[in-house]
Chains A and B, each alone.
Chain A
Amino acid sequence: MTATFYDTPDAALDGVSDGARVMVGGFVSASSPTNLIFALKRRGTRNLTAIATNIGFGDRLDELCEDRQIAKAIASFAVRASSARASRFEEQYRAGEVELELVPQGTLAERIRAGGAGIGGFLTRTGVGTQVAEGKEVLSWQGEEWLLERPLRADVAILKAHRADRLGNLCYRMAGRNFNAVMATAADLVIVEVEEIVETGELAPQEIHTPAVYVDRIVRCDPVEVRWDGR
């Protein structure tokens, strides 16, 4: 199935409903789907579970907390160790108004990978003997302890790539692959903003990072400048 193309990020979010589990690609400023985040804000969709490696660390995802659209985050960076420069998410978390599942970044990436790859779980040494292990099965193997971690999927993924072709193949720019390429495999509906759309065949096959099979919707948008220091 080839991707469907939309004229605006708002139109590309058609059907995204309250209570959705939404994966949000990007890493701080790098290839963050900021146009789609802003469209989700305008849409006013509520009670969302946001799955993203960071929220409120220079990204714009935190702006969804302005109108309290996020009920829960599953993230690796969400709350600073001091309350200086607190994000909106952090304020709401410290007030007990939003839920947070804090996940080691590599475990988050691998859970999403497993979710997209039909893998029912995996064993990792990451988190053994820490708070992350609470409530999880610990297995012994080859003289070491391993945590059993479960896959993660979402209803919707909003992602950003650099270029797409008309089939839906994607290329990312610089360090933009990050969580985008992993999340593209693990959501029922994958919506991608890109800077440029080219004709099918114009992307060299060996340079395609996300094959079209994973991509449902594409919208072309000019990138939004995001500063790592939140300025």
Chain B
Amino acid sequence: MAAEHRPRLTRELVAIRVAQELTPGSTVNLGVGLPTLVAAFAPPEANILLQSENGILGYGGFSEEAYDQDLINAGGQPVTLNPGASFFDSAASFAMIRGGHIDTAVLGGLQVSERGDLANWSVPERGGGSIGGAMDLAVGARRLIVAMEHTTKDGRPRILRECTYPLTARRCVDLVVTDLAVVEVGPEGLTLREVAPGWAPGEVAALTEAPLAVAEDVREMAL
């Protein structure tokens, strides 16, 4: 394996890079796990409207104060509200999601294929797994960013020609941000846009199973 001594991005740094992708004023849903960290790194002046599929539009960060069990995000964690926040029921929430009213969803990932298929809910060798809102978000959000580790713990690529785990949705991913790279999914396949500091495009490609075109202006992530 190439250059395994070089540090990969921490989860926080991946979240910081994802936060740079959020358009000011946009409506964003952050999935359970690493994506929830993005909430902390979106600049307040960007006025991002965070949606949580259990029925909140306009939540703030995680609540450090008094615990209110009726004010939680989709991961069950207590959150705060920003001015202008609203509540709605689950049917209305998913109508919002499937109806194309969410600009960007950020989901965790286990595997992404070269066509942008996503697998993120079940590891067959472990059995089980739960779908939650992931399938609806994957088909409904206008733009889908997947935040994940570039390889498995034992070094196998997660960006593949074909997903081998059960799919969340086909052809749904627009951008993959990993601890090594920013990869764009286009009609012609995958393009390596950015690499983690200290990593060369070829080293990232060597840890990627799917063909990876290197962008002419490929650069180091600015974090």
Taking beta carbons and an 8 Å cutoff, which residues of A are in contact with B? 27-31, 53, 57-58, 75-83, 90, 93-94, 102-110, 112-113, 124-132, 172-182, 209, 223, 225-229
Q: Among the listed B93, B129, B133, which residue makes an inter-chain contact with A81, where contact means beta carbons less than 8 Å apart? A: B129
Task: Give per-residue flags for B85-103: 1 if the beta carbon is below 8 A from chain A beta carbons, else 0.
Answer: 0011111011101100000
Would you call B126 and A83 a contact (CB within 8 A)? Answer: yes
Interface residues on B, range: 35 or more
The distance in angstroms between the C-alpha atoms of A105 and B121, with both chains bound, is: 13
* Whole-angstrom CA separation of A27 from B132 in the bound complex: 11
Contacts of B207 in A (CB 8 A): none
Q: How far is the CA of A83 from the CA of B72 in the complex (A)?
A: 24
A175 touches B72 (CB 8 A): yes
Quick check: which of B51-59, B146-154, B194-202 contacts chain A, the rest being far away? B51-59
Contact A76 B129 (CB under 8 A): no
Question: Are A178 and B90 touching (Cβ within 8 A)?
Answer: yes
Contact A81 B170 (CB under 8 A): no
Q: Which residues of A contact B130 (CB under 8 A)?
A: 75-81, 102
Check B53 against A105 for contact (C-beta < 8 Å): yes
A105 to B170, CA, bound (A): 18
Q: Give chain B residues whose Cβ lies under 8 Å from the Cβ of A127.
A: 135
Q: Chain A contacts of B94 at CB under 8 A?
A: 105-107, 109-110
Kindly list chain B residues whose C-beta atoms are within 8 Å of the C-beta of A106: 53, 90, 93-94, 97-98, 133, 135-136, 140
Inside 8 A of B68's CB, which chain A residues have their CB?
A: 174
Q: Do B87 and A177 touch (CB < 8 A)?
A: yes
The reply on B155 being an interface residue by CB < 8 A is: no
Taking the closest CB of chain A, its distance from the CB of B70, in whole angstroms, is 4
- Is B129 a contact of A105 with CB atoms below 8 Å? no
**Is there contact, CB below 8 Å, between A174 and B127?**
no
- Given the complex, which residues of B lie within 8 Å of A226, measured CB to CB? 69
Given contacts A112-B91, A228-B76, contact A81 B69 (CB under 8 A): no
Contact present for B135 and A104 (CB under 8 Å): yes
Among B54, B127, B167, contact of A94 (Cβ-Cβ < 8 Å): B127
- Within 8 Å by CB of A177, from B55, B67, B139, B170, lies B55
Option from A28, A81, A128, A209 in Cβ contact (under 8 Å) with B121 = A81
Indicate which residue in B67, B128, B167, B170 contacts A79 across the interface (CB closer than 8 Å): B128
| Pairs of residues from A and B, 4 with the lowest C-beta to C-beta distance, nearest first | A106-B94, A106-B136, A228-B76, A79-B128
Pairwise interchain contact A93-B76, C-beta atoms closer than 8 A: no
Whether, in the assembled complex, B189 has its beta carbon less than 8 Å from a beta carbon of chain A, the answer is no
A93→B128 contact, CB < 8 A: yes
Does any Cβ of A come within 8 Å of B168's Cβ? yes
**Within 8 Å of chain A (Cβ to Cβ): is B169?**
yes
Binary flags per residue of B149-178, CB closer than 8 Å to A gives 1, else 0: 000000000000000001111100000000
Q: How far is the CA of A126 from the CA of B94 in the complex (A)?
A: 11
Q: Are A178 and B126 in contact (CB under 8 A)?
A: no
**Chain A residue contacts of B56, Cβ below 8 A:** 175
Known: A130-B168, A178-B90. 18 other contacts (CB 8 A): A30-B71, A76-B133, A77-B131, A79-B128, A79-B130, A81-B126, A105-B136, A106-B93, A106-B133, A106-B136, A130-B166, A176-B87, A177-B88, A179-B90, A182-B90, A228-B72, A228-B78, A229-B76
Residues of A within 8 A of B122 (CB): 81
Q: Assuming the A-B contacts A83-B128, A106-B98, A182-B90, are A57 and B170 also in contact, with contact meaning beta carbons closer than 8 angstroms in the complex?
A: no
- B123: interface (CB < 8 Å): yes
Task: With both chains docked as a complex, state the minimum distance between the C-beta of B88 and any C-beta of chain A, in angstroms.
Answer: 6
